[in-house]
Amino acid sequence: MKIKTVAVIGSGTMGSGIAHVFAIKGFPVTLIDNSENALQKARKNIENNLDRQIKKGIIDETLKNSALQNLELKIGLKNISKDTDLIVEAIFEDKNLKSLLFSELNNLIKENSIFASNTSAISITELSTFSRPENFIGMHFMNPVPIMKLVEIVKGYSTSLETIETIKELTLFLDKTPVIVNDFPGFVSNRILMPMINEAIYALMEGVSSAEEIDTVFKLGMNHPMGPLTLADFIGLDVCLAIMNVLYEGFNDSKYRACPLLKKMVAAKKLGKKVGEGFYKYE
Ligand SMILES: NC(=O)c1ccc[n+]([C@@H]2O[C@H](COP(=O)([O-])OP(=O)(O)OC[C@H]3O[C@@H](n4cnc5c(N)ncnc54)[C@H](O)[C@@H]3O)[C@@H](O)[C@H]2O)c1
C-alpha cells in the first residue's frame, strides 16, 4: 500500500516531531490534539525546529514553507478525514486512553488504513485488538524526532507482512533506519534504556552522587552524548514512570519497580524539560 496522507494524534513532544518529518517529506499531515494550547505550542515548536534546520543547512526557506503548508492543525477527532492512509498515535502513555482512541478511530477511518502507535512500551498486540489487528503496528520514533535516525518498528501478534513492509519502506523514505522487533514489554529500546535511567535515579536518591556527577560519569566514562538524568528530563519523567510501570506489570518482576524519587517527582509535576524543571532547571 502506498501511504499518501497522514494524521498524527497528540501534538506533544513526539507528535509535533513526527508531523514535522512527514511534512518535510511532502505528506499532507493533519496534526490533532484535544488541547488548543498544545497545538499552539506544537506549531511554535515545529517552526523553531525548521528554523534550526535552516541554520544548519539541512533545509532551505522554500522547504520550510512547503512543510508548513503541508501541515494542518486541528482540535479533536471530528476533523479527521476518513480517507487518511496512516494514523500515527502519540497521545499520553496510558493504555486505557490509547485503547479508547483506537476504538473511536476504527469507526472514523476507511478499513484499509494503517494504525501505528508511537507507544514507548505498551503491548502493540493488546492495542491492536481495539481496532484492526492486521493493519496495526508500532512505529516507535525517538526523541528529538527530526534528528534521531532510528524507528523501532514493532510487530504485533496479528500484524500482516504487508503492513510491516509498507511501514518499513515509509521509514526509509523518511530517511530513518527501521529496526523490526517483536512485541515484548518495552520492546528493545526501553527494556534496556529505562532500567538504566531508573537505576541512575536510585543512585541520586541514595546519595551516591549528584545529578551532574552521575551524568558526567556516563558522558565521559561511557561516551554517551548525555547522561541518564538529562535524558530522563528530555523524555519526560511521566513518560519514564509510565514505561517502568509497563515493564513491572508486563514481566511481573520486582527488578523493574519504579524508583520512589521518580514517583515523587512526577507527583510534584517536575516532569522535566517540557515543564521547565526535572532533575535540572530549564529556561
Ligand atoms: N517523550 C519521549 O521521549 C518519547 C519517545 C518515544 C516515544 N514516546 C511516546 O510517545 C507518546 C507521546 O509522548 P510525548 O512525550 O509526546 O507526550 P506529551 O505529553 O508531550 O504529549 C501528549 C499529547 O497528547 C495529547 N492528547 C492526550 N490525549 C489525547 C486524545 N485523546 N486526543 C488527542 N490528543 C490527546 C495531549 O494534549 C498532549 O499534547 C507516548 O506514548 C510516549 O510514551 C515518547
Ligand 1 atom closest to the Cα of residue 38 is 39
Averaged pLDDT of the chain: 96
pLDDT in tens, 37-57: 999 999 999 999 999 999 999
Task: State residue 178's pLDDT score.
Answer: 98
Answer whether 33 contacts ligand 1 (Cβ < 6 A).
yes
> Are residues 165 and 215 part of one domain?
no
- List of E strands, 17-99: 29-33, 71-75, 86-89
CA of 206 to the centre of ligand 1 (A): 31
- Of the three residues 132, 160, 182, the one that is the final residue of a domain is 182
Answer whether 39 contacts ligand 1 (Cβ < 6 A).
no
pLDDT in tens, 158-203: 999 999 999 999 999 999 999 999 999 999 999 999 999 999 999 9
Helix (H, G, I), strand (E, B) or coil at 154: strand
283 belongs to a structural domain = no
C-alpha dist (Å) from residue 158 to 3, 101, 129, 134: 20, 19, 9, 5
262 belongs to a structural domain = yes
> Are residues 155 and 65 part of one domain?
yes
pLDDT at 283 over 90: no
233 belongs to a structural domain = yes
Count up the domains in the chain and report the number: 2
Average pLDDT over residues 126-131: 95
Ligand 1 atom closest to the Cα of residue 236 is 1
279 belongs to a structural domain = no
Helix (H, G, I), strand (E, B) or coil at 89: strand
282 belongs to a structural domain = no
> Are residues 67 and 206 part of one domain?
no
> Are residues 24 and 105 part of one domain?
yes
Task: State residue 99's pLDDT score.
Answer: 97
- List of E strands, 60-186: 71-75, 86-89, 114-117, 136-141, 150-155, 177-182
pLDDT at 1 over 90: no
Domain range for 112 is 6-182
Answer whether 278 contacts ligand 1 (Cβ < 6 A).
no
C-alpha cell at 130: 481495539
281 belongs to a structural domain = no
Answer whether 200 contacts ligand 1 (Cβ < 6 A).
no
Catalytic residue annotation: 120, 140, 152, 190
Q: What is the chain's Cα-based Rg? A: 19
150 belongs to a structural domain = yes
Residue to substitute in 96, 120, 152, 188 for testing ligand 1 pocket (most ligand atoms within 8 angstroms of CB):
120
> Are residues 117 and 16 part of one domain?
yes
241: CATH: 1.10.1040.10
Answer whether 13 contacts ligand 1 (Cβ < 6 A).
yes
